[in-house]
Structure 1
Amino acid sequence: MFYRKTWNPLICAGLLGLAPPTCATAEEPPIEDGPFRTPELVEVAKLHPGFKLDVRYATANNFLGRAVYPEARVFLQKPAAKALVRAQAKLKNKGYGLVLFDGYRPWSVTKIFWDAVREDQKPFVADPSKGSRHNRGCAIDLSLYDLKTGREVVMPSAYDDFAERAYPDYTGGTPQARRLRDLLRHTMESEGFNVYPTEWWHYDYKDWGDYAILDLPFSALPH
Structure 2
Amino acid sequence: MKLNLLVAFVFSSLLAGAQLKPVAEKKLVVVSSYNQYLAAIKTDPRNELVEIKKAIPNITLDIRYATKNNFMQQVMYKQARAFARKPVVESLKKIQSELNKKGYGLKIFDGYRPYAITVEFYKKASDKNFVANPAKGSKHNRGCAVDLTLINLKTGKEIPMPTPYDSFSAAAAAKYENVSPALKKNRDFLIATMAKHGLHVLENEWWHYDFVNWQRYDLMDIPFEKL
Q: Pick closer, same or farther for the CA change 1:197–1:149 going to 2, 3 Å.
A: same
1:180 aligns to 2:194 (yes or no)? no
Number of residues of Structure 1 aligned to a counterpart in Structure 2: 197
Q: TM-score, normalised by structure 1?
A: 0.84
The CA deviation string for residues 135-174 of structure 1, in whole angstroms up to 9 with x for no partner, is 0000000000001211111100110000110001111232
Distance apart, 1:15 and its partner CA: 3.7
Deviations 1:62-121 (A, max 9, x none): 001111000110000000110011011111121100000000000000000000012xx1
Aligned counterpart for 2:35 among listed residues 2, 14, 30: 14
1:189 pairs with 2:189: no
Runs of at least 4 residues off by over 4 Å: none
1:154 alignment partner, one of 160, 183, 195: 160
Q: 1:47 aligns to what?
A: 55
Q: Which residue of 2 aligns with 1:110?
A: 118
List aligned pairs for 1:44-83, cutoff 5 A.
44-83=52-91
**Structure 1: segments with no counterpart, 5+ residues:** 19-35
Q: Distance in 1 between matches of 2:88 and 2:167?
A: 25
Q: Which amino acid aligns with 1:159?
A: Y
Q: Which of the pair has more CA radius of gyration?
A: 2
Structure 2 residue runs of 5 or longer lacking an equivalent are 1-27
SS class of match (2:97)? helix
**What one-letter code is carried by the residue in structure 1 that aligns with 2:182?**
Q
Equivalents in 2 of 1:7, 1:145: separation in Å? 35
Secondary structure in structure 2 of the residue aligned to 1:169: coil
Deviation of 1:37 (Å) = 8.2
* Two-structure CA RMSD over aligned residues (Å): 1.9
Letter in 2 for 1:161: S
